[in-house]
Amino acid sequence: MSNPTNASRPSADRLLTLKELAAYLSVNERTLLKLVSEGEVPGVKIGNQWRFRKAMIDAWLDDQMLGVAPRRFEVRSPASPRRMLALESCFQPGHIVPELAATTKLGLVQELATLAGRLGLVTDPSWFADALIERENIMPSAVGNGVAFLHTMYRHPEHVVRPFMVLGRSGRGVDFDALDGKPTHLFFVLGLKYHELHLPWLAKLSQMFARADAVQALLQAPDAESIFEALRGVESNLFPAEKRSVAS
């Protein structure tokens, strides 16, 4: 299957037909129709015809590439560098807010973007907050089970000092437009420096926190250090045989 990044890209954010989307993704129309009908590809049926918002398709492809959604297409950019990073190289106890002050989506994003700025992980916290909200407006990042994986739609290496993750926890929960309609409690915010970033731990996160016991382990931890250790414990329990690698 050829790379959709090499396909002819629609020039505007408009509604695509099934045929146009199949060409954009370089896939067979019948295969695409099956995925759409099963709810695997985001689209809307208008009358008897499927239509697709390009920005939402790009967000869906982005989530596949990052490993926070099941991968349906091979999405690669040969010119992009690969980076294999261990969790500890991108995430430390100081990257955790044990109890967020914010009670709204916008306030929460601003609080975590401010943390990233204070830690020197981004050069412009206002840009980072705006970029996260832009992505949220296209497709919510809350996957259900009390967890959200926030990230920007496009990579801006000039604004991100190095790849990172910050984590905010809300005991009361925040309405984050989750797929299951329930409040979200754990907010993983990803600062991605490269166009295509291969993080072994990132691909695992959605698997790790699809489990209710993993979510509860982080919710019950008393402080940032304990949250960090609980996350490492969940990872090692689920992936006991894997070795971490750190990029130079």
pLDDT, one tens digit for every residue, the chain (248 residues): 444 443 444 444 678 888 988 888 888 888 888 888 877 788 888 888 888 888 778 777 777 666 666 555 554 444 444 444 667 778 999 999 999 999 999 999 999 999 999 999 999 999 999 999 988 988 888 989 999 999 887 767 788 888 889 999 999 999 999 988 999 999 999 887 765 444 556 667 888 898 899 999 999 999 999 999 999 888 888 777 654 443 33
DSSP 212: H
Q: Do 102 and 219 share a domain, yes or no?
A: yes
Q: Do 211 and 139 share a domain, yes or no?
A: yes
pLDDT for res 12: 45
Amino acid at 144: G
HSE of 170 in the Cβ direction (CA atoms, 13 Å)?
25
Domain count, the chain: 2
Residue 116 included in any domain: yes
Residue 77 included in any domain: no
pLDDT for res 52: 84
Give the residue among 80, 107, 94 at the shortest CA–CA distance from 192. 80
Q: Do 132 and 55 share a domain, yes or no?
A: no
Give the residue among 161, 196, 188 at the shortest CA–CA distance from 62. 196
β-pairing verdict for 147-150 and 184-191 = parallel
Q: Do 110 and 232 share a domain, yes or no?
A: yes
Q: Do 114 and 210 share a domain, yes or no?
A: yes
pLDDT for res 85: 60
Give the residue among 195, 190, 230 at the shortest CA–CA distance from 76. 195
Residue 185 included in any domain: yes
Q: Do 197 and 162 share a domain, yes or no?
A: yes
Residue 82 included in any domain: no
Is the sign of the CA dihedral 216, 222, 227, 231 positive or negative?
A: negative
pLDDT for res 66: 62
Q: Do 141 and 20 share a domain, yes or no?
A: no
Q: Do 53 and 95 share a domain, yes or no?
A: no
pLDDT for res 158: 84
Residue 207 included in any domain: yes
Q: Do 58 and 91 share a domain, yes or no?
A: no
Q: Do 43 and 154 share a domain, yes or no?
A: no
pLDDT for res 201: 60
Measured in degrees and rounded to the nearest 5, phi and psi for residue 243 equal: -105, 145
Among residues 37, 66, 95, the one where a domain terminates is 66
CA-CA distance, 207 to 22, in Å (whole number)? 29
List, in sequence order, the alpha helices (H) in the chain.
18-25, 29-37, 54-66, 87-90, 105-118, 125-138, 200-208, 212-220, 224-238
CA-CA distance, 116 to 162, in Å (whole number)? 11
Q: Do 54 and 140 share a domain, yes or no?
A: no
pLDDT for res 4: 45
pLDDT for res 108: 97
Domain of 51: which CATH number? 1.10.10
Structure tokens at 122: 């981004």
Residues spanned by the domain of 209: 87-238
Give the residue among 74, 80, 105 at the shortest CA–CA distance from 155. 80
Q: Do 108 and 161 share a domain, yes or no?
A: yes
Residue 243 included in any domain: no
